[in-house]
Structure 1
Amino acid sequence: MSFETISVVGLGYIGLPTAAMFASRKKKVIGVDVNQLAVDTINRGEIHIVEPDLDMLVSAAVQQGYLKAVTTPEAADAFLIAVPTPFLPIENEGDIPKPDLSYIKAASQAIAPALKKGDLVILESTSPVGATEQMAEWLSEARSDLSFPQTHGESADVNIAHCPERVLPGHVVTELVQNDRVIGGMSKRCSERSVELYKTFVMGECFVTNSRTAEMAKLTENSSRDVQIAFANELSLVCDELDIDVWELISLANRHPRVNILEPGPGVGGHCIAVDPWFIVSKTPSLAKLIHTARTVNDRKPEWVVEKVRLAISNYLIANPSKTAREVTIGCYGLTFKPNIDDLRESPALEIVKSIAEMHPGTVIAIEPNVDSLSIDNVKLSSLDESLMTTDIHVLLVDHKQFKKIKIHDEFIVDVKGIWQ
């Protein structure tokens, strides 16, 4: 069965590019989002996020009539759910974060009235193991007149699968097409139909497994990265204590043919690596000890950076006894969770800047070339040129390409990416 109409629920950093990609292949796509501003923006042929080449895809798809955005789901042949999976509020310090599946539940309940026999529902949201089966239960509860694979297997009226996104912000348009996909159907039929759908535009290979393994595959990929980053971040703490240049050390160690140590930074951010390991830990807290430790190391790195800034302020005042702390300007370079994008989600740099603004009585400016506005108390968004003229203490948090083009030789620098020191 071919898929002529495809609904994508959640038009964010993954959902909108996916919707645009299907539309570029002349499929009728109905994008769904609760954000009216996002819906209106897309229907004008514009985009509300920053992603290279996406604006052209969306503009063409809307103009040609293949893509429209709505706030209420409509009938389709396939539904892709790409909504957030944040954490529930933590009640006590030290508690393990637990995933909040309310967005998936709301999306399931929203599409349920539009479902019909023969439809396919795919969960793309990064999810804890078992979330796809839970989604199937929510759909079954809402539509008792239809059968689902958890009870009817291959003969189910509605097919359900999990297919996690595996793309890098800033390269989403390319990687959606070229990357391999892991597809976990709740039955063989569910997987086969999912492969058929994705092959509309995916040039990479589609690897079929079950839904739980597909969920775990995405969590494993990002947890592996988190552990590797934690090693680099912990190494940076050790080297600082021992007065060793960590970047030189890593460069030398990586000369070994079987060693590939990553670079340290201010912590770990984004909607995946900083989040996904907790989904494993929350399910198996007594077993996922290394993953838990890595998360703790990376979560604590921002505190260490703030302490380095506090020390820099103290040293600056010692070197400039005529000044008070209120007269010291701190420039913070970079707010996003990784270089050369506008994504602030779970960004350790953003949290560091907030902490600096809370503890420093003087001026704090932020230099972030990828965002146009900023809402942090006591922090002013500034240009690079202005910062170079007014800043007393330079804090490099994100190695944007603009920052790599300059060298700052001032004495008071806190550089957590190693590009100025």
Structure 2
Amino acid sequence: MKNTNKIQVCMVGLGYIGLPTAAVMANAHLRVTGIDVNPQVVETINSGRIHLQENDLAELVEAVVANGLLKASLETAPADVFVIAVPTPFTDAHVPDVSYVLAAARSIAKVLKKGDLVILESTSPVGTTEQVVDVIGELRSDLQMPSVNGAEGDISVAYCPERVLPGRIIVELIENDRSIGGITPACAEKAAAFYRKFVKGECSTTSVRVAEMVKLSENAFRDLNIAFANELSLICDRLAIDTWEVIRLANRHPRVNILAPGPGVGGHCIAVDPWFIVDSAPEEARLIRTAREVNDSKPAYVIERIVGLAVAQPETKIAVLGLAFKANIDDFRESPALEVAKALHQRFVDRLMVVEPYAGEGQVEFQGIPLAHLDDALDNCGIIVVLVDHDAFCQVDPEKLAGKTIYDTRGIWPA
């Protein structure tokens, strides 16, 4: 690997993971060109600004752009290291869609040269990195591809997923351990040497398929545990038991740690990735499938509960607090809170007041849903629904809730 300040990196995808990763790399004195298909994103970054909300990201991007270490482009640029960080959604039938990954592979194939390193970071089904090798090999017959059978190639290809928490992405990109899988062991070692230039956590090497499954397993594990909490909340509701007291007392057991239930599971990771395992091994992934079904069904249950409250109090306005998929971020991907709010907006449009402090400063509506200020919603609504535990909601004066009907799916207020 070259001296750090001479290494050219091409980051394909400048979203919630790609841009922070590119900025962290640039801050480690790697020279990074970020590629995105959206001209507005490219223009925003090149002006030293950002198009998404993440702690410490704005200052970091401003600095590395000003220093000439990060620039954005619509066109794939030659580099020494290519990192793919594009979306991997699924279809309506829960079949993984890796078309963005393969399109990114095609875009970099034309500028690859002998000695380059290609890393897939996008969370992907097992076998996707091998598909990347196949796509590049089809387009570049002049380059020898590495093989999982052990044959080295003219380029190196590896898989290294992130494992970060929104709101702490910058810190965790640097501090968290990495599992790095190579098409060959030499590919993995080369990728690990690259990550060690900006990652303080341990960089462990393994096979590419193990690394792909590690990432999916991490998110499926979380999904299973959340599903237990969500199912427990349904059972407690049926038995008229306080869910939060049950969890609080059960967690006093030294080997029990029940997670907090909510209105469902959102985000592009936990709500999506377990389906990749189910698709790969549908007969065996029975528990993982069930957990997904439990969590996917929770928004409908929440909607039913709120509708029941609204029908019982037909003259009462309803405040819905939160649209993001988790607290204190502006990420609305796969958000169960947004799903609930949209359903309520269709039915109770004249009675509904929705509050989302992270929808954008001064924004008066979000995806067709009018937005209200928190104080106005609390003053005018008799039914208060908590869907996201934003700090602003946790800090509400209890006196403002006196006499109101509360449906708190996050357990932020005492019963």
State the TM-score bracket (shorter-chain normalisation): over 0.9
Q: Distance in 2 between matches of 1:264 and 1:274?
A: 14
Corresponding residue number in structure 2 for 1:414: 407
Alpha-carbon displacement from aligned partner over 1:344-402 (angstroms, at most 9, x marks no partner): 0000000000011122253322111111234334x311111111121132111001101
User: Any gaps of 5 or more consecutive residues in structure 2?
Assistant: none
Determine the C-alpha separation between the residues in 2 that align with 1:114 and 1:31.
15
Using the alignment, how far apart are the partners of 2:263 and 2:376 within structure 1?
24
Give 2:168's aligned amino acid: H
2:76 maps to 1:73: yes
Calculate percent identity across the aligned residue pairs: 53
Aligned residue among 241, 245, 258 for 1:261 = 258
Q: Distance in 2 between matches of 1:103 and 1:409?
A: 50
Q: C-alpha separation between the residues in 2 aligned to 1:254 and 1:248?
A: 10
In the TM superposition, 1:290-369 aligns within 5 A as 290-317=287-314, 323=315, 328-369=316-357
Note the 1:232-251 alignment, pairs <5 A.
Answer: 232-251=229-248
Secondary structure, aligned partner of 1:149:
coil
The answer as to 2:385 corresponding to 1:395 is: yes
CA displacement at 1:152 relative to structure 2: 8.3
| 1:25 counterpart = 2:28 | yes
Q: Which moved more, 1:363-372 or 1:198-207?
A: 363-372
> Shift in Å at residue 146 of structure 1?
0.6
Matches within 5 A, 1:87-166: 87-90=90-93, 97-150=94-147, 153-166=150-163
Alignment of 1:172-191 (within 5 A): 172-191=169-188
Provide, for residues 203-252 of structure 1, a one-character-per-residue CA deviation record: whole Å limited to 9, x for no partner: 00011110101000010001001000000000000000101000001000
Question: Which residue of the partner structure matches residue 320 of structure 1?
Answer: none
Per-residue Cα deviation, 1:152-175 (whole angstroms, up to 9, x for no partner): 845300100000110001001000
> Residues 152 and 184 of structure 2 are in contact (CA less than 8 Å); yes or no, is this contact kept in structure 1?
no
What is the CA–CA distance in structure 2 between the aligned matches of 1:206 and 1:25, rounded to whole Å? 17
CA contact (8 A) 1:154 1:189 kept: no
How many Å separate the matches in 2 of 1:253 and 1:153?
Answer: 50
Who is 1:231 aligned against?
Answer: 228
RMSD in angstroms over aligned alpha carbons? Answer: 1.3
Alignment of 1:191-206 (within 5 A): 191-206=188-203
Q: TM-score, normalised by structure 1?
A: 0.94
Q: How many pairs align?
A: 405
1:405 equivalent in structure 2: 395
The within-5 A match list for 1:275-286 is: 275-286=272-283
Structure 1 residue corresponding to 2:358, chosen from 363, 367, 370 = 370
Which residue among 12, 15, 19 is the counterpart of 1:12?
A: 15
For 1:26 and 1:246, the matched residues in 2 are separated by 50
User: Which amino acid in the other structure matches residue 75 of structure 2?
Assistant: T
1:215 match: 212
User: Aligned to 2:371, which of 367, 372, 381?
Assistant: 381
Report the alpha carbon displacement of residue 311 of structure 1 after superposing the two structures with TM: 0.9
Single out whichever of 331-340 and 403-412 deviates more from structure 2.
Answer: 403-412
